[in-house]
Amino acid sequence: MPHNKLTKSQRELFCNLKAFLYTKAKNFTPIQDVKDMALILDTQDKILKCHNIEQLKQLCHILYNQGIKHTIMMQGLFLFFNYFKDNLKLRSFRMLSEEQVINFLFELAQNRKPSSMAKYVMYLRQFFDYLDRKRRYGFDFTLKNLAFAKTKESLPRHLNDKDLKSFLKTLLDYKPATSFEKRNKCILLIVILGGLRKCEVLNIELKHIQVEEQNYSILIQGKGRKERKAYIKKSLLEPSLNAWLSDEYRLKYFNGAYLFKKDKQKAQNSLTLYNFIPLIFKLAQIKHYKQYGTGLHLFRHSFATLIY
């Protein structure tokens, strides 16, 4: 795809890949097997001027063949670019979530060795760390505790597309019978649609929820006290959010700064939904749900790019 045919978010990712490769190529340590230094310098100068991903791959290949071996890491980033272009429809590259990167990694792991996956994770960490440090992004992606071993005993890290669609449709249609079911439905929707950690959901403050065009933006304080925004389509969250906000029990006991906890529970960071998740699984007729487990982390990893 020519550079001028990319969407705004795809162009942003492409330009960041060019900048990252340029930095890596400029900061290599000369070693004995470097071949043609003039060719290396000429190739470096072409990186920021190239117009599409294929040209960038060719330049990377030239650098690798000339002895700049650490440019091999770009292979994983090129795979991520293709995945991003084919699967993610974001208005801005800055809206990318860690869960979307994790989904890419788990899809890639279907036909890669665990040892290869460890390298891809390392390359992605370096790329996003570079964006945070040098280009003022605030991703703060850790990409840790990911297991890619292919064993029959391993639990799936996320719901498959069919089960996710069925679960989400059932959840959206479900009519809560109690105040806590209203709360649980709203929490679960925010985790699935926004990809938040359970501690991040618990610490959402009312003042940090804003309407931006057709979406809610939620200001999140992530790991290391770094802030980022999660965006959720308004039409999907609004009915459940309003039902919880207007609930009499919430207004009596939870009517403080936080959306899901009392002010006196400020230090609380644990969160469970008791039997609510199994209930939705059963109503969705997902009989094999026990193979997934029922923890909230499952739904972070199932962060639904297919919805948008």
Predicted confidence pLDDT, tens digits, the chain (308 residues) = 444 588 999 999 999 999 998 988 887 655 546 678 888 888 888 998 998 999 999 998 888 888 777 788 788 899 999 999 988 888 899 999 888 888 888 888 877 777 788 888 888 999 999 999 998 898 888 887 666 655 444 445 678 888 888 999 999 999 999 999 999 999 999 998 888 888 888 889 999 999 988 899 999 876 666 788 888 989 999 999 999 999 999 998 887 889 998 876 655 555 667 689 999 999 999 988 877 777 777 787 665 444 44
Neighbours of 281 (CB within 10 A): 22
Beta strand pairing status for 215-221 and 209-212? antiparallel
Provide long-range contacts, Cβ within 8 A and 24+ apart, for 35-44: 35/65, 35/66, 35/67, 36/66, 39/66, 40/66, 40/67, 40/68
> Residue written as tokens 């001028």?
4
pLDDT for residue 271: 62
Could you tell me how far CA 267 lies from the centroid of its own chain? 26
287/303 Cα distance (integer angstroms): 21
Its pTM surpasses 0.75: no
Residue 114 to residues 108, 119, 219, Cα–Cα distance (Å): 10, 9, 35
> Residue written as tokens 């162009």?
11
150/247 Cα distance (integer angstroms): 45
pLDDT for residue 272: 66
Q: Which residues pair with 216 in a beta bridge?
A: 211, 232
Phi, psi of 114 (to 5 degrees): -55, -35
106/298 Cα distance (integer angstroms): 13
pLDDT for residue 223: 63
26/40 Cα distance (integer angstroms): 10
pLDDT for residue 112: 76
pLDDT for residue 28: 63
Domain positions in the chain? 3-134, 161-307
270/24 Cα distance (integer angstroms): 41
Could you tell me how far CA 197 lies from the centroid of its own chain? 11
83/124 Cα distance (integer angstroms): 13
pLDDT for residue 55: 92
Give the burial class of 251: count Cβ atoms within 10 A of its Cβ; 0-12 exposed, 13-18 middle, 19 or more buried.
Answer: exposed
The torsion defined by the Cα of 46, 50, 53 and 57, in degrees rounded to 10, comes to -20
Q: What angle do CA 263, 265, 267 make, to 5 degrees?
A: 115
Q: State whether CATH 1.10.443.10 applies to domain 161-307.
A: yes
223 touches 168 (CB < 8 A): no
286 touches 167 (CB < 8 A): yes
Q: Which residues pair with 229 in a beta bridge?
A: 219
